[in-house]
Amino acid sequence: MKMFICSDVHGNVRALDAVLTAYREISPCRLLFLGDAVGYGAHPDACLDRLFALPRSSYIMGNHDWAVLDLSEREHFRREAFTAIKWTVNTLRGKYNDLFVRNFKMTVENREFKAAHGSPVHPEKFSYIFSVLHAEEVFRACDFSLCFVGHTHVPLVYTYSNGPKNLEPGKPFTLDPSDRYIINPGSVGQPRDGDNRASFMIFSPDERAVTLHRCEYDIEAEANDIVEAGLPEWFAERLFSGG
Ligand code: ZN
């Protein structure tokens, strides 16, 4: 069965709805959500409702999700992100805390793949994999052939044999069974690779390939909601630039 992989929704419900239209087209499929359902955006409640309604799902805990549950985690955030998390906590009023605790895992690991929000070496530290050096450290420290991660908001594949590879939307990237891969599907709700479209990925185990997809959504409406909610305007502006 195909696996629908997405990450870093960050409370952006219009981006999530656009991505879920594609999800329904390939359904039945599995869902791997790589973390950060909330933070930055104006619709944490609606995003969690939609994510938790999906069958055959695995949910990874992101640093923003964790911060909703654990006060001490919020101290590491920059000022604007801290403001957004406080707003999110006030908006959710604990409604999803039980579901978070029950469903969100720091890592998922099975015969097929490993998954974490940031580096899987110490998943609770949420370290970024931003460079070949970081990727090499992960390849050395962990045993996997496929590892899915989010957190950087930049879609990319690191190969063990041959460094990083950019993915072309819509074009399957074939995985060599003898190689190893760290794969990031980019971000649904706060892309940071210069492309403002929502990003997600489909993994086809039968073809042993991943395909990146991008889809457009109503950025203007989503940005207006961020400003109207009184959240830092920077989070709305970033939606337009995708950076
Ligand atoms: Zn994130």
Using one digit for the tens of pLDDT, what is the confidence trace for 125-170?
999 999 999 999 999 999 999 999 999 999 999 999 999 999 999 9
Query: Under a CB-based contact definition with an 8 Å cutoff, are residues 85 and 62 in contact?
Result: no
**26 C-alpha vs ligand 1 centroid, how far in Å?**
25
Residue 138 vs residues 22, 32, 62: alpha-carbon distances, Å: 31, 20, 18
Question: Which pLDDT tens digit goes with each residue over 194-212?
Answer: 999 999 999 999 999 999 9
> Residue 79's pLDDT band (boundaries 50, 70, 90)?
confident
Quote the CA–CA distance of 194 and 75 in Å, as a whole number.
29
CATH number of 36's domain: 3.60.21.10
**4 C-alpha vs ligand 1 centroid, how far in Å?**
18
pTM over 0.85: yes
Range of the domain at 205: 3-241
Nearest in space to 128 (alpha carbons), one of 58, 71, 182, 179: 182
Please give the pLDDT value at position 78.
86
Q: Which residues of 153-170 are buried (b: 16+ CB within 10 A; e: fewer)?
A: bbbbbbbbeeeeeebeee
**178 C-alpha vs ligand 1 centroid, how far in Å?**
31
**135 C-alpha vs ligand 1 centroid, how far in Å?**
18
**36 C-alpha vs ligand 1 centroid, how far in Å?**
5
Residue 183 vs residues 140, 141, 195: alpha-carbon distances, Å: 16, 16, 18
* Structural domain count, the chain: 1
